[in-house]
Every structure is written in structure tokens, then in C-alpha cells.
């Protein structure tokens, strides 16, 4: 009976099984090789998690360390950096996005190279930009704001360019048919289409910049990151927990406000 | 009512509405500009002392950033100033660090995807009937998503010491946070009929998951994981700055010696690796989506 069922089984199914096992084995081997190469040892892990447990235990109860006003000021500075960085990024991305739109600059070679160029720098984290800007322009939020803008510009430009490309030409042609100046064409034909899309993207970037801005202080670029790093360095984990909790509350407040604004603007 | 009156009424109503619109957008604009002004003031953007005349400082920065390359000696050895290999003078070591970065990202994506799969089963409405568990897991994932991976890395470096271990764990945790939510959404959109059919055939829970769930969700899981891998490589590039292993350490070193052109060289190396990984993963993702579409 069992022989029968084995024979009636489709052959392709077995090949799939073999292939699946091979890929799984290959993947496992790669994972093991990478673990060995990075030197992730169970012993080191155990010691680390032991210490982490102590840190977590030290986090309760959270305490502001008697310096609540300073933490709050740093948090406000973080928000200010996020706002300013997003604003600068948007201001720079508008012309860059217009240049990158297929229906503005029609040369396909330029378009390809330009958009790929934007893609290449899309992945660079804000902290990497902050490191060099702080070295160039000194400690403080100035470098941080620049870094946030620099990290946003490639993706924002791409989004704006795509929004322009996907814009409906109908309203623009309609306004043009009324015989108005090119400026009014933009104002009444294109702007009503673009503004809600762009505004909602700006708000998304503001949210993500608030998260990015929180770490820039690590390299001296201002904001709450500095307070965090300082307290982690001296193992003041009750204060670390306080800052993190306050930060989580701030993030959810900002996200709620931004979601409300997005709904209102739509 | 005479026609004159109707026109006057209409005009008045229109003026009122226009005025209301103007007031509304004016108030919005005023609030927005006040907020922005406060933000620029608070971040001292225009008042910060960046060491003298801003234009000169920026020019100075750019001249130090751009390497001093000379055409006639471009392909000479490392000892010749002005050659490409003098610019990339520590290439083997940087490539080593970039390999470490990519490995950290890959491992974190694998571990994170496994963790996210478990978490997503616990918070999908159609798989986890018990609401309190769903609630707790979802909130936990939300909290993880709020925390930047570099903050996690800072704490983990304090616990695990400097090195890639802390980086891998930090990235794994944040990957669980983001993929867990996406996977749960995929799980909730699963076609229940295949699960019901297996249930009717008397299959156990594991068999139901294996034949009713996995074939439906795996392509989407894989595609999101690849997307996350792209993000993780970029994120891993910054982890070394806080001591969590990878190329960030070399970036930090270049800054310590204020070698801005070296920094640019490493950055270019990093972005090209990220770019190649993005292209590869994009190609695989398109194939995954296509193969999924071909199935009925």
C-alpha cells in the first residue's frame, strides 16, 4: 500500500522538496558562517544579557534625576531640530524634485542618471551626515539640522518628482485654455493637486525626523541624544528609563498631531 | 424677491466664504511660520557660531571634503599623493568593515524575521483568539518601533561591550518591531477558506499552518524581509559610530583625524554597496511578486 502511494505521487513534488532542503541548508550554513565571522559567542551573549538584566532592573523606578527642566529643554530642542531639518529638506527638495520629474526635464538619460544619483544617497543615515557636519561646523544643533535635511533630501526629491509625474494634466490644460499666465497655471492647475500630497509627505518626514533627531546628540549634534548617552555612560539607568518614557510619550503625541493634520488637510 | 437682491445675496455669501477661507489659510500659515520660526530659533540655526563667516566655512569644508586628485598620477600607487589609491589608502580594511556591516544586517534580518513571524502569529486577529495577548504584543511592537535602533544600540553596547554583538541585537529588535506589524497585517489578509478546508479534513494546528498559511504568506514575508534588509544595511552603517561594530567605526576614525576626504571615500564605498544590495533585492522582490501573481 505504501509503495503504491509513493509511486502515484507526482515526481515534481519531490524535486521541490529537495530544492527546499538545499536552500534551507545553504541559508543555515550562511547564517552559521556569519555568526562565526562576527564572533557572536553564546558565552558573550549570556554575559551581555546578564548585564542587560541588571540594567533593566536598575531602570525601575524611573527618575528624572532632579533635572526635569533640562531633559524637557533637550526634548524641545529635538523637536525644533526635526521641524527645522524637515523645513530645510523640503525647501531643497522642491527644486530638486522639479528637476527630477520626467515631464519637466524630458531628457531620459539625464532623468535616469539624476534619479539613480538620488537613489544612491537615499540610504545614508542622518547620524552619518551629522558626524561630518559636527566636525566641520562645530558642536550644537546646527550640524544636526543640516544632517536631518541632508538625509531627507534624496527621498523627498524623489517623492516630489513622482508626485509631479503622476499629476493630472487636465486641470493645468483647463486653466491654460482660460488664457492665464504660467504662474496662475501652476497656482490653479497644479498646486491644488500637489499640495495635499506634499503636505502629507512632509508630515511623515517630520515624524521620522523626530526619531532621527533623538540620536544625533550622540555625536554632539544637539537634542535629547546627548542627555541619553551621558546617562548611559554613567549607568544612571533610572534616568535613562525616564528619558525614554518621556520620549515615547512625545513621539506618540507628535504622531497623533500629525495624523490629525493629515486628515484635516486632505 | 427681485433678481437684484438675489445677485447681491449671492455676492455677499461668496465674499463671506472667501473671507472665511482666507482667514483659515492665513491662520494656518501664521501658526506654521511661528512654529518654524521658533524651531529655527531654538535650534540656533541662524545664530550659531560655526567659526566665522558661514560662506567661507562652507567653502573650507567643501575643499577639505573633495580629495586632491591629479589626472597624471591618478592610477599610481598609494604612496603618490593625488592618486586614487592614495585617496582610498585603507581600502582592504574598509572592505573588511563593510563586510562586517553587511553580515550584521543580514543576520539581524534573519533573526528579526523569525522573531517577527512568532510575534505576528501572536497578534493576528484570525490566529490568536485571545485578545489580551494580541493587545500586549501589539503595544510592545509599537514601543519598539518608537525607539530608534541607535538608542537601543547605545544601551546594548554598555551591556555587551563594543563590537558587532550589540549591533546585531539592536537591529534584530528593531526589525522585529517593524516586520512584526507588517507580518501581522499579511496574516490577517489570509484567505480563510484554505484553513477551513484543512480544518474540515481534520488537520492539526501545525499542519494547518504548514499547508494553509505558509504558502499564502511566504512570498509577502520574503518581500518585506528583503525590503527591511536594504534598510538594515544602511542602518548598520551608522551603528559603528556608537561602537556597535561595522563601517561606522572607520567613519568615526576618519573624523577623529579630521580627514574629510577619507570620510567621503568610505561614504562612497558604503553607498555603492548599499546600492548594489538594493538593486539585487529589488530584482528578487519583483520576481517574488510576479511568481505570486501567476498563481491563481
- What's the pLDDT tens digit per position in A66-120? 888 999 999 999 999 999 999 999 999 999 998 888 887 888 899 889 988 888 8
- Residue in B43, B154, B158 nearest the CB of A145: B43
| Span A185-202, pLDDT tens digits | 878 888 888 888 888 889
**Given this model, what pLDDT does residue A2 score?**
45
Q: Do B159 and A55 touch (CB under 8 A)?
A: yes
Q: What is the mean pLDDT of chain A?
A: 87
Interchain CB distance below 8 Å, B158 and A232: yes
Local confidence band at A44 (pLDDT 50, 70, 90 cut-offs): confident
Q: Which CATH number fits domain B85-294: 2.40.30.20, 4.10.93.10, 1.10.287.950, 1.10.3720.10?
A: 1.10.3720.10
Contacts of A80 in chain B (CB under 8 A): 38-43
As a whole number, mean pLDDT of residues A195-213 equals 90
Domain ranges of chain B: 1-32, 85-294
Interchain CB distance below 8 Å, A225 and B44: no
Among the partner-chain residues A120, A141, A233, the one whose CB lies closest to the CB of B43 is A141
What pLDDT score does B116 carry? 95
pLDDT of residue A1: 42
pLDDT at B2: 67
Q: How far apart (Å, rounded) are the C-alpha atoms in residues A213 and B60?
A: 26
Q: If phi over 0 gives left and psi between -120 and 50 gives alpha, with beta otherwise, what is residue A114?
A: alpha
Q: CB atoms < 10 A from the CB of A43, how many?
A: 7
Domain with CATH 1.10.3720.10 in chain A: 68-265
Indicate the range of A174-183, A206-215, B92-101 predicted with least confidence: A174-183
Average pLDDT over residues A138-166: 91
CA dihedral B109, B114, B117, B119 (to 10 degrees): -100
Please give the ipTM for the structure prediction. Answer: 0.84
Q: Do A131 and B252 touch (CB under 8 A)?
A: yes
pLDDT value of position B296: 43
pLDDT of residue B110: 95
What is the pLDDT at residue B50?
Answer: 67
The topology (CATH level 3) of A68-265 is MetI-like fold (1.10.3720)
- How many CB atoms lie under 10 A from the CB of residue B293? 9
Interface check for A180 against chain B (CB to CB < 8 A): the answer is no
Q: Do A125 and B275 touch (CB under 8 A)?
A: no
* Spans of chain B below 70 pLDDT: 1-3, 50-51, 292-296
Question: Where is pLDDT greater, at A216 or A190?
Answer: A216
Percent of chain A with pLDDT over 70: 95
pLDDT in the model for residue A151: 94
Nearest CA in chain B to A123: B234
Amino acid at each position: 500500500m505504501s509503495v503504491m502511494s509513493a509511486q502515484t505521487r507526482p515526481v515534481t513534488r519531490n524535486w521541490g522538496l529537495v530544492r527546499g532542503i538545499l536552500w534551507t541548508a545553504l541559508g543555515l550554513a550562511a547564517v552559521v558562517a556569519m555568526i562565526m565571522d562576527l564572533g557572536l559567542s553564546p558565552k558573550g551573549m549570556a554575559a551581555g544579557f546578564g548585564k542587560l538584566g541588571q540594567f533593566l532592573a536598575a531602570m525601575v523606578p524611573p527618575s528624572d534625576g532632579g533635572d526635569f527642566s533640562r531633559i524637557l529643554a533637550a526634548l524641545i530642542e529635538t523637536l525644533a531640530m526635526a521641524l527645522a531639518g524637515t523645513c530645510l529638506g523640503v525647501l531643497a527638495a522642491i527644486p530638486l524634485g522639479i528637476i527630477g520629474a520626467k515631464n519637466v526635464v524630458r531628457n531620459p538619460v539625464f532623468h535616469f542618471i539624476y534619479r539613480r544619483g538620488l537613489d544612491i544617497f537615499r540610504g545614508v543615515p542622518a547620524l552619518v551626515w551629522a558626524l561630518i557636519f559636527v566636525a566641520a561646523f562645530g558642536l550644537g544643533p546646527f550640524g544636526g539640522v543640516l544632517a536631518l535635511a541632508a538625509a531627507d533630501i534624496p527621498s523627498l526629491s524623489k517623492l516630489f518628482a513622482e508626485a509631479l509625474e503622476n499629476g493630472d494634466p487636465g486641470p493645468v490644460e483647463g486653466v491654460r485654455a482660460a488664457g492665464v499666465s504660467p504662474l496662475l497655471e501652476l497656482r490653479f492647475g497644479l498646486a491644488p493637486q500637489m499640495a495635499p500630497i506634499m503636505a502629507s509627505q512632509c508630515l511623515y518626514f517630520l515624524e521620522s525626523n523626530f526619531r532621527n533627531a533623538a540620536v544625533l546628540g550622540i555625536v554632539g549634534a544637539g537634542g535629547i541624544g546627548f542627555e541619553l548617552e551621558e546617562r548611559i555612560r554613567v549607568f544612571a539607568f533610572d534616568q535613562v528609563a525616564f528619558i525614554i518614557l518621556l520620549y515615547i510619550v512625545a513621539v506618540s503625541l507628535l504622531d497623533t498631531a500629525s495624523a490629525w493634520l493629515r486628515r484635516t488637510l486632505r | 424677491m427681485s433678481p437684484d437682491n438675489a445677485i447681491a445675496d449671492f455676492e455677499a455669501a461668496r465674499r463671506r466664504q472667501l473671507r472665511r477661507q482666507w482667514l483659515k489659510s492665513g491662520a494656518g500659515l501664521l501658526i506654521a511660520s511661528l512654529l518654524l520660526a521658533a524651531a529655527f530659533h531654538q535650534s540656533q540655526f541662524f545664530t550659531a557660531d560655526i567659526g566665522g563667516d558661514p560662506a567661507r566655512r562652507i567653502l573650507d569644508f567643501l575643499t577639505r571634503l573633495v580629495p586632491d586628485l591629479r589626472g597624471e598620477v591618478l592610477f599610481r600607487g598609494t604612496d603618490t599623493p593625488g592618486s586614487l589609491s592614495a585617496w582610498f589608502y585603507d581600502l582592504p580594511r574598509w572592505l573588511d568593515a563593510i563586510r562586517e556591516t553587511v553580515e550584521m544586517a543580514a543576520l539581524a534580518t534573519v533573526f528579526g524575521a523569525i522573531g517577527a513571524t512568532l510575534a505576528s502569529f501572536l497578534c493576528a486577529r484570525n490566529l490568536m483568539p485571545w485578545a489580551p495577548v494580541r493587545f500586549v504584543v501589539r503595544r510592545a511592537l509599537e514601543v519598539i518601533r518608537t525607539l530608534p535602533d541607535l538608542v537601543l544600540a547605545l544601551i546594548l553596547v554598555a551591556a555587551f561591550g563594543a563590537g558587532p554583538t550589540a549591533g546585531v541585537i539592536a537591529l534584530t529588535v528593531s526589525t522585529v518591531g517593524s516586520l512584526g506589524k507588517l507580518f501581522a497585517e499579511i496574516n490577517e489578509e489570509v484567505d480563510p477558506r484554505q484553513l477551513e478546508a484543512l480544518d474540515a479534513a481534520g488537520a492539526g494546528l501545525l499542519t494547518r499552518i504548514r499547508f494553509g498559511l505558509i504558502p499564502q504568506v511566504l512570498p509577502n514575508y520574503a518581500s518585506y524581509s528583503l525590503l527591511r534588509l536594504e534598510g538594515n544595511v544602511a542602518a548598520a552603517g551608522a551603528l559603528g559610530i556608537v561602537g556597535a561594530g561595522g563601517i561606522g567605526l572607520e567613519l568615526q576614525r576618519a573624523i577623529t583625524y579630521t580627514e574629510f576626504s577619507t570620510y567621503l571615500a568610505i561614504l562612497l564605498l558604503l553607498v555603492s554597496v548599499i546600492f548594489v544590495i538594493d538593486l539585487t533585492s529589488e530584482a528578487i522582490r519583483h520576481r517574488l511578486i510576479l511568481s505570486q501573481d501567476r498563481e491563481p
